[in-house]
Amino acid sequence: MNKIQQRHSVIREVLLKEWDPIGVAQSTEAQNEYDGYVAEVAALVFGKASWEEIVDYLWKTEIETMGLPGNRQKIELIASRLLEIGKNEPNL
């Protein structure tokens, strides 16, 4: 697995298992539900975007793209988690 694939794999796992705004993590049929967001989130995280930029992206995704009411507190936690992943990239 190359570096980009590793990055995407880690981000995919966080989006599915931790963010999961529509609650599909336990569904084997929906394991790819958030794959469309992986590349953009990875670009933010590994492109050294700010915490606010990551929060804004996830917030807009939940509100505008998914049409959900949004969970700002959870999004903020996920953004912090994603930033930690970006800081620890050599450990991937």
User: Residue 30 carries which DSSP code?
Assistant: G
The CATH number corresponding to 3-91 among 1.10.340, 1.10.10, 2.60.40, 3.40.630 equals: 1.10.340
| pLDDT, position 67 | 97
Q: pLDDT tens digit string along 9-34? A: 999 999 999 999 999 999 999 999 99
Domains of the chain, by residue range, sit at 3-91
Q: pLDDT tens digit string along 53-68? A: 999 999 999 999 999 9
| pLDDT, position 86 | 93
pTM of the model: 0.93
Rounded mean pLDDT of the chain?
95
Q: pLDDT tens digit string along 32-52? A: 999 999 999 999 999 989 999
Burial of 44 per CB tally in 10 Å (0-12, 13-18, 19+)? buried
Place of tokens 């998914």: 66
